[in-house]
Amino acid sequence: MRNTWGRWLLITVLLLSLCLATVAGWVIRDLPLARSVVDLTIEPGTTVRGIAQLSVDSGVEVNPSLLYWFMRLSGQSRLLRAGSYEIKAGDSAWDLLQKISRGQESLQTLVLVEGWTFRQFRAALDRSEHLQHQTRGQTDEAVMALLGRPGQAPEGRFFPDTYAHGKGDSDVRILSRAMKAMDRQLANAWQARAERMELTSAEQALILASIVEKETGKASDRRMIASVFHNRLRVGMPLQTDPTVIYGMGDAFDGNLRRRDLQTDHPWNTYTRKGLPPTPIAMPGKAALLAAVQPERSEAFYFVARGDGSSAFSANLEDHNAAVDRYQRRRNPSSATP
């Protein structure tokens, strides 16, 4: 008899506790949780109780047990997702639950600009206050090994775009996404290549696209600029493009490209060496990739900047020199590069 009464008493206590927890949980349903913005980062595998406690530790002003029971009794506890969330001033427990169950993360963005070098990409990553910096201080070689590409040069391997990410995401994840995006874009461009052109591999297309990216001042000129380089490759003429020389100079470049720089041999000097350089020199965008594999059909072998972002194209050296006189030498007597 005593055992029966004991069991009923235990059941009664449990039911009463559950009812009280339910009432208390729904009492906080619409009450404000914070008086200022709270950043909440939930790691994969965190339990419901852990999420409740983490919320309080991050700045939410509520009893963690009440928040836990509210989440459990809401029927959505199995839907809670890892991620980075922003709890705004005045948000309620219901608002928090909806954000976490729907995965409505507070996202930041990182913009990779067309024509940036890998050094500039890494500097942008390092400046981001919302990323975990797992690659900071590592060599480029170590970073590529971390990404599963040991021995591959990093230049040009990452697609310039805007990448949204949660607070606390790692820079490795951004690097990996940008690398895979470039793989896709390059594969698509190579598949769409013209039947007649001077490139024999997607790797060559990536290299030429990076040069086209750096040489283009006006978008409508891209395919003509690519045409000039295709024509030069066809006849075995040096590409003679300043951006490759500048890239190869590295830190030695002081902003002023001199004649002696054009005459100093190194692997990226396309004045002293024929053909494409050994690696890309920047991150080309989609338009540059397509221009490299779909060049305009032309007889142009030369081009010179007009000074307004566009270029003047010539089929022979005589016409090119006249264009240089018109657009460059009159404005700057020292600029006489081919």
- The residue ranking higher by pLDDT, 4 or 111, is 111
Query: Is pLDDT at 244 greater than 50 in this prediction?
Result: yes
Give the length of the chain.
Answer: 338
CA distance 312 to 213: 17
Backbone angles phi, psi at 22, to 5 degrees: -65, -45
Q: In this predicted model, what pLDDT tens digit does every residue of 196-213 receive, in sequence order?
A: 889 999 999 999 999 999
Q: Which amino acid is at 223?
A: R
Element (H, E) at 11: helix 2-27
Mean pLDDT of the chain: 86
Query: Is pLDDT at 24 greater than 70 in this prediction?
Result: no
CA distance 182 to 198: 22
Query: Is pLDDT at 18 greater than 60 in this prediction?
Result: no
Q: What residues does each domain of the chain span?
A: 2-102, 107-186, 192-329
The pLDDT score that the predictor gives to residue 6 is 53
Q: How confident is the model at residue 13 (pLDDT cuts 50, 70, 90)?
A: very low
User: Taking the model in full, what pTM does it have?
Assistant: 0.75
Enter the tokens of residue 101: 């169950």
Enter the tokens of residue 297: 């059909």
Enter the tokens of residue 117: 């070098």
E runs forming strands in 58-213: 83-87, 107-111, 162-166
- Cα 107 versus chain centre, distance: 14
Residues 6 or more apart whose CB falls under 8 angstroms from that of 171 comprise 125, 126, 128, 131, 132, 133, 134, 135, 136
The pLDDT score that the predictor gives to residue 330 is 58
Query: Is pLDDT at 131 greater than 50 in this prediction?
Result: yes
Query: Is pLDDT at 262 greater than 80 in this prediction?
Result: yes
The CATH code belonging to domain 2-102 is 3.30.1490.480
The pLDDT score that the predictor gives to residue 4 is 60
